[in-house]
């Protein structure tokens, strides 16, 4: 009986570019749900609503009816009964009692590491300056809302990685909002993470209704200036639709990891990196690019041998179908392919791995050498694990303190400066047919020369 191969191997690079490394632009406007979810929505809303239309309806309803719409949608869509949308201090206290001290200490250690990293980042960040009459003032955003993703699952790392840079940047008020279980209870690990991350208050709501609540404010939930944090497809759609009314960090898609490896790489480590990348969810994309056919064969065999030992092997198996192994002639060619794909995570397992760093143009994060697992970045390394996906690493960055600061331009010039700059500005205004613009300068120049 033939052994099942979970990860497809491409020996033709052009074929790999077309079928594995090409970025198919997915419009959230046209996104279609699986059939079972479409049928469920039709049953609930008595009409065929596309996901985008459903999100628009939820946003409009929350904007109009506030708390009641949030409670209704959380009940209809999640089966959650929410008597109150506010997490109380008693619930925080109970969370710390439920979780063992060792786990609390681990979350606190992670929070401290991430805070320290971003404090160093702050020292090297933008600074106020004023020179020759012009400059900038750097100020933090006033209020930020953090979407605390996950309902049944707990992702304390995501909460800390999202909220901590906001806290270090100096944001005045940071609020969290989180899905709950059916009884309206928040996973205790999330509340512990929120407390260590500097989140002031936590509220209960999921999906599009949570994003709408932070956008417009309700009787219980405050309106914020910017919303941050990853979530499911409904969260992404909602963030896209409210962008401009409120600030958003980014639109996040399925996670992705690309490993560049040569003949010196340890097959077990490469396999571990591929399997961990695939464990996130069924839409994750794990890719190995190597110039070694022997390594490719070894990794394929090890995946076959090890897959079933993991608790989430069913998820890993589905995810592996999205990925593949690409065999190149050289490592430089592998780097070129990586830059085309622009992965969220790039792991380098080669001889003299550091020498490849200058060649990397597009990646959310680079994990250099076999001693640096990507997972360390997910948890206790310090760098943000909230990174650009879907090829957006070509033009965007991981979440940092800069996402929670803004720059205000300042102009404060003396008469002699206006006498020098003004005539040219007035001349250009007249070129553009804007006489009133020119006049605003000219009246000042006349007063200078009186």
Catalytic annotation, residues: 344-345
Angstrom distance (rounded) from CA 170 to CA 150: 26
Phi and psi torsions of 57, nearest 5°: -65, -45
Which spans in 246-325 are helix H?
267-278, 293-306, 313-320
Residues 6+ apart with CB under 8 A from 393: 342, 343, 344, 362, 363, 364, 387
Element (H, E) at 444: helix 435-449
CA angle 216, 218, 219 (to 5 degrees): 155
Largest Cα–Cα distance of the chain, in whole Å? 99
Burial status of residue 162 (CB atoms within 10 A of its CB: 0-12, 13-18, 19 or more): buried
**Cβ–Cβ < 8 Å for 246, 214:** yes
> What's the DSSP call for residue 322?
T
CB-based burial, 183-200: b 16+ in 10 Å, e otherwise? ebebbbbbbbbbbbbbbb
Residues 6+ apart with CB under 8 A from 71: 82, 85
Give the Å distances, CA to CA, from 425 to 204, 430, 437, 440, 441.
53, 9, 9, 10, 8
Element (H, E) at 239: helix 233-242
Residue 98 Cα to chain centre, angstroms: 29
- What DSSP assignment string belongs to 308-319? GGSTTHHHHHHH
């Amino acid at each position: 009986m033939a052994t099942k191969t979970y990860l497809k191997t491409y020996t033709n690079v052009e074929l790999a570019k077309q079928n594995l490394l090409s970025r198919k632009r997915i419009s959230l406007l046209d996104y279609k749900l699986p059939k079972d979810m479409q049928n469920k929505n039709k049953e609930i809303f008595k009409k065929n609503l596309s996901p985008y239309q459903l999100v628009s309806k939820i946003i409009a309803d929350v904007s109009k009816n506030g708390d009641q719409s949030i409670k209704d949608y959380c009940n209809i869509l999640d089966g959650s009964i929410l008597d109150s949308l506010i997490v109380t201090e008693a619930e925080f206290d109970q969370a710390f009692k439920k979780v063992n001290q060792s786990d609390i200490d681990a979350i606190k250690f992670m929070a401290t590491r991430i805070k320290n990293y971003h404090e160093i980042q702050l020292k090297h960040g933008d600074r106020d300056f004023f020179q020759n009459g012009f400059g900038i003032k750097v100020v933090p955003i006033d209020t930020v809302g953090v979407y605390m993703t996950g309902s049944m699952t707990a992702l304390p790392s995501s909460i800390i990685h999202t909220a901590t840079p906001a806290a270090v940047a100096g944001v005045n008020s940071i609020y969290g909002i989180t899905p709950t279980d059916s009884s309206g209870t928040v996973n205790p690990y999330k509340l512990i993470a929120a407390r260590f991350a500097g989140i002031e208050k936590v509220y209960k709501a999921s999906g599009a209704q949570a994003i709408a609540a932070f956008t417009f404010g309700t009787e219980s939930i405050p309106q914020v200036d910017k919303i941050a944090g990853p979530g499911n497809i409904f969260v992404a759609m909602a963030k896209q639709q409210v962008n401009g009314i409120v600030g958003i960090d980014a639109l996040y898609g399925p996670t992705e990891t690309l490993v560049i490896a040569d003949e010196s790489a340890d097959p077990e480590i490469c396999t571990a990196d591929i399997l961990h990348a695939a464990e996130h969810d069924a839409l994750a994309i794990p890719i190995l690019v190597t110039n070694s056919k022997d390594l490719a064969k070894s990794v394929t065999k090890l995946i076959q041998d090890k897959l079933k030992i993991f608790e989430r092997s069913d998820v890993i198996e589905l995810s592996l179908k999205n990925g593949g192994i690409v065999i190149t002639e050289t490592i430089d060619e592998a780097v070129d392919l990586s830059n085309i794909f622009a992965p969220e995570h790039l792991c380098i397992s080669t001889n003299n791995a550091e020498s490849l760093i200058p060649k990397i143009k597009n990646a959310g994060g680079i994990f250099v050498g076999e001693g640096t697992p990507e997972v360390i970045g997910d948890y206790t390394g310090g760098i943000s694990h909230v990174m650009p996906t879907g090829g957006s690493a070509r033009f965007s960055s991981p979440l940092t303190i800069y996402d929670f600061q803004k720059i205000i331009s300042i102009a404060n010039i003396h008469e002699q400066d206006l006498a020098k700059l003004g005539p040219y500005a007035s001349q250009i205004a007249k070129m553009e047919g804007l006489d009133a613009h020119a006049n605003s300068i000219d009246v000042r120049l006349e007063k200078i020369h009186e």
